[in-house]
Amino acid sequence: MTIIRLGRAIVAALLLPVGAHAQPEIALVERQSLCVAEPGTPVAASHRLHLTLVNIEGSGWTRERALDALRETAAILGQCGVAVRDAQWLSLSAPPRYLDFSTPVARDLARSYPVKRPAIYLVRDTLSRPAFDAEAIGRGNSRSRPELADTVWITAAARDAGIVLAHELAHVLMDNGEHSDEPGNLMRDQTAAGSTALSAKQCARMRGTGSDNGLMQSLQQER
């Protein structure tokens, strides 16, 4: 009797449609192209940066808040001749463990659903200690976690999100974790609403290293 029941179960399983045995843990819910540059706004730039924004559903982020932050980031990077004209918005459904940043979970997410870099991941919170509102992972600090190279992870609790994003993205583009003591500089240890300036040296490193690492394109080469 046991053998007969087991045989029926196997037959029933074989009759299921392909893909019905296991649903993917991570699935794309929404994909949209975001226009970052305000319509009619002239952009004088030497380099172009295209970003991928990855939202985990339930993170507390909205597309509108992310776009507002991205536009502020674009204005800050614009002083270096770097234009962020558009971006790709991806919203993913995923189990709750993916909502909060930790290196093991982030590595699993990046492996399971690869996206074009540089990528900004919008998460609910962080499990790292000490806890930071955002974390930048460039080439230099990703040797033990290569899946996370060229990414920024920013929590929903981040204040002045556009400035925080610009700060962390600058770390990635410059591939440098150094901070500045200059008053009003974006790269001070603590981000603040009045600190958005970048020096000529910082801008040059951002464009040079970002281009060398394939993270931005020279507009002069495209002409």
Pick the CATH number of 23-205 from 3.40.390.10, 3.90.1300.10, 1.20.120.80, 3.40.50.1370: 3.40.390.10
Q: At 162, which helix (H) or strand (E)?
A: helix 161-174
Of the candidates 187, 174, 180, the one whose C-alpha atom is nearest the C-alpha of residue 49 is 174
Residue 158: strand, helix, or coil? coil
d(CA 200, CA 77): 12
Residue 6: strand, helix, or coil? helix
* Contact criterion met (CB below 8 Å) for 175 and 185: no
Mean pLDDT of 183-201: 97
Query: According to the model, what pLDDT value does residue 37 have?
Result: 83
Is pLDDT at 73 greater than 60 in this prediction? Answer: yes
Q: How are beta strands 217-218 and 47-48 bridged, if at all?
A: antiparallel
Cβ neighbours for 106, distance < 8 A, ≥ 6 positions apart: 121, 145, 147, 148, 151, 153
The model carries a pTM of 0.87
Question: Residue 58 to residues 40, 52, 84, 92, 202: CA-CA distances in angstroms?
Answer: 34, 18, 26, 10, 36
pLDDT tens per residue across span 20-49: 445 579 999 999 999 998 655 556 899 999
For residue 19, name the pLDDT band (cuts at 50, 70, 90).
very low
Mean pLDDT of 107-129: 97
Domain spans in the chain, listed from the N-terminal domain onward: 23-205
Query: According to the model, what pLDDT value does residue 162 have?
Result: 98
Is pLDDT at 104 greater than 80 in this prediction? Answer: yes
Query: According to the model, what pLDDT value does residue 11 have?
Result: 45
